[in-house]
Amino acid sequence: MEYNSFFETALERLRDERRYRVFADLERIAGRYPHAVWHSPKGERNIVMWCSNDYLGMGQHPKVVGAMVETATRVGTGAGGTRNIAGNNHSLIQLEHELADLHGKEAALVFTSGYVSNQTGIATIAKLIPNCLILSDALNHNSMIEGIRQSGIEYKVFRHNDAAHLEELLKANPNRPTLIVCESLYSMDGDVAPLEKFCDLAEKYGAMTYVDEVHAVGMYGPRGGGIAERDGVMHRVDILEGTLAKAFGCLGGYIAGSAKMVDAVRSYAPGFIFTTALPPAICSAATAAIKHLKSSRWERERHQDRAARVKAILTAAGLPVIASDTHIVPVFVGDPERCKQACDILLEEFNIYIQPINYPTVPKGTERLRITPSPYHDDGLIDALADALVQVWDRLGLPLQAKAAAAE
Ligand code: PLP
C-alpha cells in the first residue's frame, strides 16, 4: 500500500482548487507590534502584520508578559496533567473568577482553546438537556458546528442573523427545550448579531441562549465584556463563550454562566476532562490582560479609531471594502488565485503581511483580504497599506471603485 499517495492526492486536490495554504514563517518583536520579522526563503525581512487576531496587541503588553514570566518563574511551566489527575492550579481558579466577574455570571470554566470550549461545551450542554433542539445561525464557526454534530442532537439552522426566521423555528417547535447558538460578531464579514432580539425571543419561547463572543471580548462593552455587554443584554444571555487567544493575547477558551451549568460541563465534558489544563503562566497572563482591559478604555477606543481610519482611507482609494460596523476590515477579491497572488505581492514587494481568506473559511467567490487594524497601526502604516493595495489591485487587474463615488 502506498499510503503517502492518498495524502498526495488529497493535497493535489487543494492545489487544483487553488486553496492549498502556505503560512509565512514569522517572528513578532515584543514592544514593536505590529512590526515582525519574516524568515523568508531569502533571509530575514522586517514586515508589518495586518491580519493578526491579537487585536489589541495585548500579547506584548508589559503587564501580560510580566505576569507570564513571573508565574512561570515561581511555579514552573506545565499544569502537570488534567484537572482530574493533577487538581486545579491556583492561577486557573483566579482566571475563572476574573472571567465570571467580567461577564457578571456565577461561574466560568476554562478550556485549552476557544475551539474546544465550543466543541465540547455545546455538545455537553445539549446532551444534558432532555429532548433538546438546537437552533444554530447559518454562519456559525466550525467549532460550534462540530459541537452540534458531536452532541448528536436534532438541530435546525436559521438564516444568518435573521430573528424572524429564528422565531419561525421556535414557533414550529413549541414546548421543547431549545438551545439557540450564535456568535455575537462574525469575524469574516465583521457584522453583529441582533442579540437583544434573540434574547427577547429566547424569553418569549423559553429557550436558552449560547453566544460565542470570541471576536468581541476585550474589545466591546465598557469593561471588555463583549457585544452583549455593549448592548446591555449580557445578563440575559445564558451562556457566554470566549477566547483568551485574541484580544487577551494568550491562549485558551471559556464558557461563563450559571454555577450549576458550569459544574455540569466540568463534570461531563470530555474535552475538559481528558486533556491537560492550561499552564499556570498562561492563566496569569490572561488574567492580567482581562484585568487591564476591564479598566483601561484606551485600547478599545484607539482600536475603533484605527479601524475607522483604515476603512475610510481604503474606501477613498477606491478599494472594495466590505461595509462593517466593527473592527474587521474585509476587502473583496472574489477569486482564490488572485487573492493569494495579492498577498504574495504584498509580502514580497511591500513587506506587508495579510493572509488570504479563501474557501472553506468563506464561501467560494467571496475570497478576500481580511485586515485587522490594531491600536498600534499608525497613520503612516495605514497610508502605506492603501498605496500598496492600490498598486496590487492595478497589477492584478482587480476592479477599483470610482474614487468620487467611494468618498461619498
Ligand atoms: N469561535 C469563533 C467564532 C472563532 O472564529 C474561533 C477561532 O478563530 C474560535 C471560536 C476558536 O477560538 P480559539 O482560537 O481560541 O480556539
Give the residue among 188, 184, 250 at the shortest CA–CA distance from 217: 184
Query: With 60 as the cut, is the pLDDT of residue 405 above it?
Result: no
Q: 399: CA distance to ligand 1 center in Å?
A: 32
The whole-number pLDDT of residue 403 equals 60
What does the DSSP 8-state code read for residue 203?
H
Catalytic residues: 246
Query: With 60 as the cut, is the pLDDT of residue 179 above it?
Result: yes
Question: Atom of ligand 1 at shortest distance to CA of 143?
Answer: 10
Per-residue burial over 274-304, b if 16 or more Cβ lie within 10 Å, else e, is: ebebbbbbbbbbbbbbbbbbbeeeebbebbb
pLDDT tens for each residue of 344-365? 999 999 999 999 999 988 999 9
Question: Atom of ligand 1 at shortest distance to CA of 243?
Answer: 15
Ligand 1, atom 15, lies closest to the CA of 114
pTM (2 d.p.): 0.96
Query: With 50 as the cut, is the pLDDT of residue 408 above it?
Result: no
Q: 212: CA distance to ligand 1 center in Å?
A: 9
Question: Atom of ligand 1 at shortest distance to CA of 141?
Answer: 3
Q: How confident is the model at residue 18 (pLDDT cuts 50, 70, 90)?
A: confident
The whole-number pLDDT of residue 17 equals 84
pLDDT tens for each residue of 223-242? 999 999 999 999 999 999 99
**Other CB atoms within 10 Å distance of the CB of residue 188:** 19
Q: How confident is the model at residue 3 (pLDDT cuts 50, 70, 90)?
A: very high
Q: 119: CA distance to ligand 1 center in Å?
A: 10
Q: Which of 51, 99, 112, 115 gets mutated to test ligand 1 (max ligand atoms within 8 A of its CB)? A: 115
**What is the 3-state secondary structure of 327-384?**
CCEEEECCCHHHHHHHHHHHHHHHCEECCEECCCCCCCCCCEEEECCCCCCCHHHHHH
Q: How confident is the model at residue 329 (pLDDT cuts 50, 70, 90)?
A: very high
The whole-number pLDDT of residue 404 equals 45
Question: Atom of ligand 1 at shortest distance to CA of 186?
Answer: 3
CA distance 340 to 367: 9
- Across all residues in the chain, what is the average pLDDT? 96
pLDDT tens for each residue of 276-296? 999 999 999 999 999 999 999
Query: Residues lining ligand 1, judged by CB closer than 6 Å?
Result: 113-115, 118, 141, 143, 183, 187, 212, 214, 243, 245, 253
Task: Give percent of the chain with pLDDT exceeding 70.
Answer: 98
Query: With 80 as the cut, is the pLDDT of residue 25 above it?
Result: yes
Cell of 52: 493578526
pLDDT tens for each residue of 239-266? 999 999 999 999 999 999 999 999 999 9
The whole-number pLDDT of residue 9 equals 97
Q: Out of 83-87, 125-129, 199-203, 291-295, which region has the weakest mean confidence (pLDDT)?
A: 83-87
pLDDT tens for each residue of 52-85? 999 999 999 999 999 999 999 999 999 999 999 9
Q: How confident is the model at residue 219 (pLDDT cuts 50, 70, 90)?
A: very high
End-to-end CA distance of the chain: 63
pLDDT tens for each residue of 132-166? 999 999 999 999 999 999 999 999 999 999 999 99
Q: 246: CA distance to ligand 1 center in Å?
A: 9
Q: Which of 53, 99, 110, 143 gets mutated to test ligand 1 (max ligand atoms within 8 A of its CB)? A: 143
Q: 14: CA distance to ligand 1 center in Å?
A: 23
What is the mean pLDDT of the segment spanning 22-34? 95
